[in-house]
Amino acid sequence: MTAPPLETSNPSPERAAAPRPRRRFAGLGLPIYVTLALVFLLIPIAYTFVFSFNDSAKSNIAWRGFTFDKWLTVCNEPGLCEAFGNSILVGVVATALATALGTAIAIALVRYRFRFRSSISLLLFLPMATPEVVLGAGLAAQFLALGTQKGIVTVILAHTMFCISFVVVTVKARVASLDPALEEAGRDLYGSPAQVFWRITFPLLLPGILAAALLSFALSFDDFIITNFNSGAVDTFPKFIYIAAARGIPAEANVVASAVFIIAILIVVVSQVSRSARQKRLAKLG
Amino acid sequence: MKTTGTFAEAGADLEFVDISKRFPGFTAIESLNLTIPAGSFFALLGPSGCGKTTTLRLVAGLEEPSAGRILIGGKDVTNTKSFQRPVNTVFQSYALFPHMTILENVAFGLRRRKIDDPLGKAHEALRLVELDHLAARRPAQLSGGQQQRVALARAIVNRPALLLLDEPLGALDLKLRRQMQLELKSIQTEIGLTFLHVTHDQEEAMTMADIVAVMNKGEIEQMGAPEQLYELPRTAFVANFLGQSNLFTGQVTDSTADFITVDIAGRGIVVPRTRAQRHAGEVTIGVRPEKLMLHTDAPAAGAGINILGPGRVTDVSFSGVSTSYIVHIPGLGAVTVFAQNMVFGPVVNEGAEVWVSWTVDHGFGLEDEPTPGSRFPADASTNAIAIQRRAALETELEGA
């Protein structure tokens, strides 16, 4: 080799340290900081998970030994599985309603010009900006004024209402990035309005719609404040935990919480893996 | 629809009757009357904003006219929806469906019309554009030129009576463009459809189209075969949009049965009467730069020759095949001359004193008023201004 080796490619330790002492500090400090932050974030989850295996008696605060019993007999705890079922039911119905309505609103807001369009855009932000306590109390007052019996229907209505805003915001971004020429091409190629929607618009918006639905479900599933105001005697999972907290949360609640967490993680991992597999396949084709 | 669809038997006439299209605050097209004969390759040529794309969208049914009627093959389609018209479009952005394979993109129109064997016919159309081997891919995996050919296949597979092309070659590089121009032209000849091609590229329009209509400010300035438009432009706009022209304005001093004589900077310039649109008063006449000859000595005046000069060469630019000279003639201004490079290098250099001459038969006279006004006066009614303000505010709000 006649050419002199590049100095930057293999710097001596003194050289690297001398001109940039700050970087050395950052090089050590950053991992420590990140580790601490992650530990801090993960402690409650880890605690919940670990204590779902606790052979607890009355309260689930002291560790009394490892057992699978709580996982196997989770529905023995009175009211827990019923509350969990209610939460799933409310989440699914509210998500379906909010996603359908919100998607339609998002398309209308982006694609069409009409009276009060900007005001509607603005009003849709209000449920997101208003404190939940105010929203919950306001809705409760309305249901009272109408003489509606509080129950699962009122909870679904309340959840649908605040989820719509999130759906509109999420889907709107997707609609805005959709080239109108694609829909025009669909019409030009003999597609009726319904065919154009289901074969072109909908599949292209689907990633946005799915993201909006997941967000809605997550928001609905763990909502406590608005639910508490409008549910009457019906319990949802967050409400069950809140009430149980007064006399000691049973380990079965930890089991449900851990299961939900694991399912959510699994969904994310599966979707990531399938996406990267698809990209690899496309890359191979291209 | 229960019955299976059928293809158009042949290309169809397209007819515009008094079509106008107004948008809030401005007019895109004003009472346009136009007939495009079946089986022709018709180019609508004009600068951006001249209304040509709006015209195309009106035919496709993507816009509704404010007034007038559109007939395709003699049938009034003004009130039918886009998907009911026997028309297909090759969009400027191609608008290929990103979530479908190339094959499904091409078969889309066939499936919607329930035509037998959509996939077989789609493969056939892809073979025509030589892309059948890529049928399983997605649009994003294709190059620009390939996407353009897929867009073309997706449109012609439906055998529309009328094929609309919205600047489909705009995004391609020069070599690919030339290749696609030839391909388009041969496909049109092969399948005999009526093509309506919208473009701002005069070269593209002239090489491909049988008939070119030059559009400006929502109206057709002139229509005809490309050679005819080039050799005998009727307006200053056409004379300068299709190639370049040297235009001079002067008074008609003499008018005979065959010729008119125009006073240009003190010289009598002769134009054949049949090639001049106006025969009296102040007129604008012109001649193409490549029809001009440069002389370093005053040429002998003679019948059939127009001479201007002397003037000074102010600019010489060499472009391979030809050299372009700008000659400044006192009292006239700049005159452009294109001279073929028959010898090495330029014939004259900057600063040289020269005369220019041309054969009388090459001149033309325009129909414009020498000082043309703008065709559509600015719409300054309070209502129009209010609408525009509102639209501007709305876009601003959205951005915020």
pLDDT in tens, chain B (400 residues): 333 455 655 667 899 999 999 988 888 888 889 899 888 889 999 888 888 889 999 999 999 999 999 999 888 999 999 999 989 999 988 999 999 999 999 999 999 999 999 999 999 999 888 899 999 999 999 988 889 889 989 998 998 889 999 987 776 777 777 777 787 888 788 777 889 999 888 888 888 889 999 998 888 899 999 999 999 999 999 998 888 899 998 889 988 989 999 998 888 899 999 999 988 888 999 999 999 998 888 888 888 899 997 899 999 988 888 889 999 998 888 899 998 887 776 678 888 899 999 999 999 999 877 654 444 444 445 566 566 666 766 666 665 5
Among B residues 323-352, those touching chain A with beta carbons less than 8 Å apart: none
Closest CA to A171 of A113, A236, A215: A215
**Structural fold of domain A87-234:** MetI-like fold (1.10.3720)
Contact A189 B108 (CB under 8 A): yes
- How many residues make up chain B in this entry? 400
Residues of chain A predicted below pLDDT 50: 1-18
Instruction: Give the per-residue pLDDT at A209.
Output: 95
Is B99 in CB contact (< 8 Å) with chain A?
Answer: yes
Q: Is A251 exposed, middle or buried (0-12, 13-18, 19+ CB in 10 A)?
A: buried
Interface test with chain A among B6, B99, B102, B113, by most A beta carbons within 10 Å = B99
Q: What is the ipTM of this complex?
A: 0.76
pLDDT value of position B95: 94
- Amino acid (one-letter) located at B250: G
Spans of all domains in chain A: 23-79+238-258, 87-234
- All structural domains of chain B: 14-230 (3.40.50.300), 244-365 (2.40.50.140)
Query: Residue B392 belongs to what H/E stretch?
Result: helix B382-399
Q: Is B52 on the interface with A (CB under 8 A)?
A: no
Whether residues B83 and A182 touch (CB distance < 8 A) is answered with no
d(CA A238, CA A87): 8
When CB atoms are compared, the residue of B82, B98, B398 closest to A188 is B82
CB-based contacts of B130-134 (< 8 A; 24+ apart in sequence): B131/B102, B134/B102
A204 neighbourhood in chain B, CB within 8 Å = 97-99
- A98: closest CA among A217, A238, A197? A217
Which amino acid is present at A206? L
